[in-house]
Structure 1
Amino acid sequence: MTSQSFDNLSVLATYLRQRLEQKKYILLFAYNGTGKTRLSMNFKMIGKVGNDEEEVRDTLYFNAFTEDLFSWDNDLDGGARRVLRMNTDSRFFSGLQELEMENRIRPLLRRYADFDFYIDYEQATVNFTREVRATSEHTETLEHIKVSRGEENIFIWCFFLAVAQLAVDEQEAYDWVDYIYIDDPISSLDDNNAIAVASHLAQLLKSGSGKIKTVISSHHHLFFNVMCNELGNAEKYFLSKEIGSYLLTDTGETPRYHHVALLKQLHGAAESGEIYTYHFNILRNILEKTATFHGFRNFSACIKQGSDDPDGILHARLVNVLSHGNYSLYEPQNMLPENKDYFRKILRDFMENYRFNPELFPAPTQESSNP
């Protein structure tokens, strides 16, 4: 793995733009506090030219500042008309009404949430609603509800996805977009929805003509792993902060340094019995990276051959089939007992064959073993 040092984030942002002259996607993994958000703003500022009246930009971005474009009006006097206000001074909201944003956002939001919304374009506000059961036979709609912080973040993410789709489709209102920069979109989602968000985002990006180049940064192991799989030809880096500089390490196709964290997650699932179909996606990812590292052409080479499967074909097919189902978007899908057994066997054999620190993976106890 090769590494490069950069004196500041502006120089690093310039380098990323240079790399995007040759690549469509760049994926960055970095821990919180490294400077991911500031890097995204430096990247954006490089493409910002001119004054307020004749300003030219080239980057559509999602980060903590995007979330700040929305703020709550809690109706402190009446306490009944709570709305989310949009800062329409931002170019992010260009031409919303003409583009029928509600119809674009709603199908995305329904993947993750059970509330609805309506946009008042004149007032630049969002009214959230939710249906609740009033009686055994009837429901009623609650207006102007205040959704949770997690639900608010999901709504803003879906809002951004709808705008990004317009840019990818080269709609006139967003034809200024040459780059999309996304920083940590899924901080409030669980692992199951992290897979769904990553998969859907990759599908959106790949649906375009290739005009728009994309940078995605994250501290979320699973999200980053899925993006690596979905955008296989992306350049992949680990960003770290050194004393007085920033270090960018090209991870290439070697296993991610955080594969141990993912193995701990799988080990914990196997121990608890809470094994879901998406765990096979994680297992396959680790097998593929291990195979690449050891020079094998297929992940099946990393599956131990047993007396019940001397060629390793059965278990390889199981991993292949169970890791290619539809990503569960709202509720994790539990596995059948026999598939759980296969999962445990493949994982256990892998960890025995490729030795890991046993202190990180305590042996199961009878009390903790679950079906």
Structure 2
Amino acid sequence: MSTSQTFADLTALATHLRELLAENKKFVLLYAYNGTGKTRLSMEFRGIGKQADTRDTLYFNAFTEDLFSWDNDLDGDIDRKLKLNSASHFFDGLAELEMDNRIRPLLRRYVDFDFRIDTEDWFVRFFRDDDPDQNIKVSRGEENIFIWCFFLAIVELAMDGADAYQWVKYIYIDDPISSLDEHNAITVGNHLARFLERKDHAIRTVISSHHSLFYNVMWNEIKRIDRKFVPCLLSKSRQTGEFQLAYTGDTPFFHHLALLQDLCHAKETGQVFTHHFHSLRSLLEKSSIFHGYKDFAACIKREEDDPDSTLYGRLVNFLSHGNYSFYDPVEMLPENREHFEKILTDFLEYYPFNSAILPQAPAQAETQ
């Protein structure tokens, strides 16, 4: 397989994904920025397998979420319920398969409310355990979690070979955590992996996301399950409209590691430009957020005569706000370059990143 391939349109790309899965591949993991066409790609993939009354793809995307809509009882403001689109095959077997008992243990991992499914009138009511008679309106994030757990319950049925979902040959999941926080992004990823590691079925899976943390969680989880999986990065050319699929190989997609590699490369080659202070600040901010600090200066090494690290914090703050262009680079002044290199060197000593990802790492690794 080449390192990247170009496709004229999403139909050609969806066909290629199906071909990959036919080549004894069980998982494709795809990263793409919002607006690239991920959701449309999932529908193209589904469309190829939909001929007349036959279908082969169980999918989760923005269209799945649209199968659920709120009736907020605007007149009485009491009987609030989430309506289900009964025309969709997504809800096949809703009554006879006791979906509420399948969804509830999944949902309890995330939230503290309960629900009732009305299989005659096709809606769901939510309530708190301490007040089962009150119909509550759950938040958008909680609603997404409920829909996600509904989907997982169906995935479980498909993997179990339930008659209502015998048609499922592929599962396509696009951004299941669009409205969730970082903690739930990790929880959802780990929970999903527990479903995917089952080996007693022949279903193939595509997962796409714009969420870098979720992508990285899934990269590590799926690699543990199946080392033959295909991780890739999807992009679209603004000039030609073509789509490019780059196969990322053995390296997960981390924004902060890419920044770190770029900064270390600039330092090692001496090609240090004014815009690198932008990248340095971004690296410090991402690291401070990860460690729970409110200010990026917390990730700058403190000097004995500057216990609050105010000097270098102000330098980074000031020098990263200049009108510096990535497309018209200006070499950094010697004094500022010394500050830049010191902050970066201290950062690497303070947070010992794996040396194998940094420039000149292979030679260093051989001596260790």
TM-score after normalising by structure 1 = 0.70
Q: Tell me which of 210, 214, 223 is aligned to 1:223.
A: 214
- Residue 16 (structure 1) aligns with: 17
- Contact 2:9/2:243 (8 A) holds in 1: yes
The corresponding residue for 1:87 is 85
How far apart in 1 are the matches of 2:39 and 2:294? Answer: 37
- Does residue 213 of the first structure (1) align with residue 204 of the second (2)? yes
Determine whether 1:164 maps to 2:166: no
Q: Which residue of 2 aligns with 1:46?
A: 48
Counterpart position of 2:268: none
**How far apart in 2 are the matches of 1:262 and 1:97?**
51
Offset at 1:346? 8.1
Could you say which residue in structure 1 is the equivalent of 2:231? Answer: 236
Cα offset, 1:270, TM superposition: 3.5
- Map 1:278-317; keep pairs closer than 5 Å: none
Residue 77 and residue 162 in structure 1: after superposition, are their counterparts in 2 closer, same or farther (change >3 A)? Answer: same
- With over 3 angstroms needed to count, the CA separation of the structure-2 counterparts of 1:349 and 1:161, relative to structure 1, is same
* Aligned-partner Cα distance in 2 for 1:29–1:20: 17
What RMSD, in angstroms, separates the aligned Cα atoms of the two structures?
2.4
Tell me: CA distance 1:97–1:208, structure 2 relative to 1, closer, same or farther (3 Å): farther
Amino acid aligned to 1:29:
Y
- Alpha-carbon displacement from aligned partner over 1:317-349 (angstroms, at most 9, x marks no partner): xxxxxxxxxxxxxxxxxxxxxxxxxxx998612
- Aligned twin of 1:4: 5
- Which blocks of at least 5 consecutive residues in structure 1 are unaligned? 132-138, 275-343, 357-371
SS in 1 for 2:177: coil
Partner of 1:321: none
Contact 1:168–1:205 (8 Å) recurs in 2: no
In 2, Cα distance between equivalents of 1:35 and 1:353:
34
* Alpha-carbon distance in 2 for matches of 1:255, 1:198: 15
> How far apart in 1 are the matches of 2:147 and 2:349?
39
CA distance in 2, matches of 1:117, 1:123: 15
* Matched letter for residue 154 of structure 2: V
In the other structure, the counterpart of 1:367 is none
Structure 2: 5+ residue stretches without partners: 261-282, 296-346, 360-368
Deviation at 1:210, TM superposition (A): 3.8
Q: CA deviation at 1:158?
A: 0.6
C-alpha separation in 2, matches of 1:261 and 1:161: 33
How many matched pairs? 276
SS at match of 2:132: strand
Equivalent residue number for residue 191 of structure 2: 200
Secondary structure of residue in 1 paired with 2:131: strand
Structure 1 residue aligned with 2:31? 29
- Which deviates the most, 254-263 or 10-19? 254-263
1:39 corresponds to which letter in structure 2?
A: L
* Alignment partners' CA distance in 1, 2:356 and 2:203: 43
Cα distance between partner residues in 2 of 1:196 and 1:345: 29
Taking a change above 3 Å as real, the CA distance of residues 261 and 354 of structure 1, as seen in their structure-2 partners, is closer
Deviation at 1:351, TM superposition (A): 7.5
Judge conservation of contact 2:212–2:253 (CA < 8 Å) in 1. no
Task: Work out the CA distance in 2 between the residues paired with 1:172 and 1:354.
Answer: 49
d(CA) in 1 for partners of 2:63, 2:92: 17
Report % sequence identity: 58
1:349 to 340, 347, 352: 352
Is 2:256 aligned against 1:253?
Answer: no
One-letter amino acid of the structure 2 residue matched with residue 349 of structure 1: P
Output the CA distance in 2 between the equivalents of 1:142 and 1:11. Answer: 52
Report deviation, 1:216.
Answer: 0.2
CA distance 1:271–1:90, shift in 2 (3 Å) = closer
Distance 2:150 2:198 in 1: 18
Change over 3 Å in CA distance of 1:81–1:270 after alignment to 2:
closer
* 1:97-116 superposed matches below 5 A: 97-116=95-114
List per-residue Cα deviations over 1:204-254 (Å, max 9, x = no partner): 012142410000000111111111111112100000011320010000113
Deviations 1:228-287 (A, max 9, x none): 11111210000001132001000011352534379843443337299xxxxxxxxxxxxx
Q: What's the secondary structure of 2:231's corresponding residue?
A: strand
1:57-79 residue CA offsets vs partner (Å, 9 max, x unmatched): 00000000000001111112222
